[in-house]
Structure 1
């Protein structure tokens, strides 16, 4: 890691303020190239782009959009256009649905099976599996895994269940789709949000992999429990073998493909060329997601046009869940950081935990809904609304994290005023 000494400020010298930053502070760079904050706050950037991000709230918002690729920036627009295109195809091309459903694999049309798998493959290829042995030797990662399991597999699903019942008490099919989304813990877009908000990418990657493995085991029995037992929706029976098979296919295959692809290329061509490969490979996820949405909306065009009210009502529980879960988790990690210190917690861990807990794996929820209920079911339609809501909400929360993170203290030994002064000094010398 490269190092940087941050000198004490002249202003602090004159005031004779007892600040740790008055002494030379040895700063290390994070795995993403940022300069670590001495008190566990928002890491400092050193590029011209990130200097604008650190100037004020307006600069944060502007550079937030510039820091992600144009494909990700326009994701919400692309999703809306894909939905409209799908509805147009389904309404004005009467032979589209029979042709799309002509060939199936395990009860799912091949037109959906292929993109459902390929949209997960690039994302799981980008995970840095080779760093895991070193990371698992630290105490911090075990703390993060423990609290992540609690938030993602206990708090999250029940919060989504409550939000679904509170907002959709009279729409059982759509409610089931929302519950299925709540059970699918995030492994996809969360890597983008964590990067934007300057969280710890390595820790996030490990949590993502653990969630992936747990979903292969827990998703099916939890879906049965939440839908058939807790919700009491026996009319909409979820078959365990069918659900488990769907999870294995649409999670296991891309996970195995991602591991093999990354490690093989890392060995054959090296890390530099692997990064270049990922730049061209990752857009496949977006293209595949859009294909899935087009096919599903083409299959459900008539239902959508005759049920616009329920479709828009489905947005409410999803938006409510994102906001509440993210806020609760971010505040919880801040409390732990102030109570026990930045070494095991801090701002970067708050970002990782908040975005992992506050978002969901819509790809898996869509895949299981299609395999269980069919592409033209209302449950499946509800799961496809998720990406449309997630992108603008979590992009906004990325901006909020950067803004409020600089105004909060993240260590036990300092005051809020000291933390702000240290933040200004570190960013000035970045």
Structure 2
């Protein structure tokens, strides 16, 4: 089975520079940011409440700006003239779609029932059990649209594949989210927060792609491919700083809630953690069995496991209310997203030699 990448897809600008000290100890910085975020959120709740209220259709604008800083460096790598080469990775695309739409929502529904509806049921508020499970299902019913660019970049993923896969998932989401959630929740009609969905796609995909391609064309005209490589080395640290700042904000927004309800949040985290590792591992192994290159398998695993938490939170609030168990369950997904996905990045990076050994 051939794992080679078409020559025209992997360019000089796609090469990832060697890790510096900051990147090498990223796990430590993540842990510190979680602690700092919870602490600041508890000490200065008014400040974080003010930042958290700066949003449109449940999309937080400060976080959106930080995500721009995170994903634009990866988008600068993309040469749209090479996008047609993604067809060589049809197996990776098919596997990711299978995980996102045929496995993840149903596995989460099962895990939610097993842990929240059965194993942890005696320790949770009885009137919120169904709502907690609904929140978990909403969280798993839509794949992530923005942060996967960060995870793909950290795992040296093929950027053209990542962009194509995210765009394809966005199109499917428009048609499949409502009926899939309705099926799993047993509801005849679902209120889809279209403003959140469309605004997120615009903010996280369309606008950053336009900015990145304008920057790419300007740098190529001035300094060629060497200029792109030099630019990426300069802006990569800013991308990681934005990632850690986002982590502080997310945990700061929920600092009071984490301290007030640590047990419930821990219980809700269990099925989320299991489904992330299960779905990412399944996607990774299926790509290996299919003979896909590691630079495709890594983002495939990460896309297959990540969640569109903005849409999940908005849908939970619109269906069940702001103070519902469903809304809390989706918020737990927000808190877990960054540290857990970084652990998946570490796993796929550390197993690259095993993956390519046939």
More deviation, 248-257/67-76: 67-76
Checking the alignment, whether the CA contact within 8 Å between 1:90 and 1:299 is kept in structure 2 is yes
Matches within 5 A, 1:230-249: 230-232=184-186, 238-249=192-203
2:218 to 264, 270, 274: 264
2:14 aligned with 1:77: no
2:279 to 311, 321, 325: 325
Give the deviation of 1:184 after TM superposition: 1.9
Where does residue 59 of structure 1 map in the other structure?
none
Checking the alignment, whether the CA contact within 8 Å between 2:152 and 2:298 is kept in structure 1 is yes
2:139 aligned with 1:180: yes
Checking the alignment, whether the CA contact within 8 Å between 1:181 and 1:383 is kept in structure 2 is no
Checking the alignment, whether the CA contact within 8 Å between 1:184 and 1:215 is kept in structure 2 is yes
Q: TM-score, with normalisation over the residues of structure 2?
A: 0.73
CA distance in 1, matches of 2:277, 2:208: 29
CA distance in 2, matches of 1:325, 1:364: 11
1:189 to 136, 151, 170: 151
CA distance in 1, matches of 2:154, 2:216: 18
Give the deviation of 1:271 after TM superposition: 0.7
Q: Secondary structure at the match of 1:127?
A: coil
1:281 to 235, 238, 247: 235
Give the deviation of 1:165 after TM superposition: 4.3
Where does residue 270 of structure 2 map in the other structure?
316
Tell me the C-alpha RMSD between the 2 structures: 3.8
Larger Rg: 1
2:244 to 290, 298, 301: 290
CA distance in 2, matches of 1:174, 1:114: 31
Matches within 5 A, 1:186-225: 186-193=148-155, 195=156, 204-225=158-179
- Which structure has more RCO (C-alpha within 8 Å, separation ≥ 6)? 2
| Number of equivalent positions | 326
More deviation, 366-375/349-358: 366-375
Where does residue 3 of structure 2 map in the other structure?
none
User: Which has more helix, going by share of residues?
Assistant: 2
Q: Secondary structure at the match of 2:19?
A: coil
Checking the alignment, whether the CA contact within 8 Å between 1:167 and 1:317 is kept in structure 2 is yes
CA distance in 1, matches of 2:295, 2:109: 23
CA distance in 2, matches of 1:241, 1:102: 17
2:258 to 292, 300, 304: 304
1:398 to 345, 349, 353: 349
Q: Which runs of 5+ in 2 are unaligned?
A: 1-5, 118-128
Q: After superposition, give the CA deviation of every residue in 1:44-83 in whole Å (9 maximum; x if it has no partner).
A: xxxxxxxxxxxxxxxxxxxxxx953433333332232222
2:68 aligned with 1:114: no
2:83 aligned with 1:140: no
Give the deviation of 1:277 after TM superposition: 0.6
Structure 1 residues 332 and 32, CA, compared in 2 at 3 Å: closer, same or farther? same
Checking the alignment, whether the CA contact within 8 Å between 1:221 and 1:240 is kept in structure 2 is no
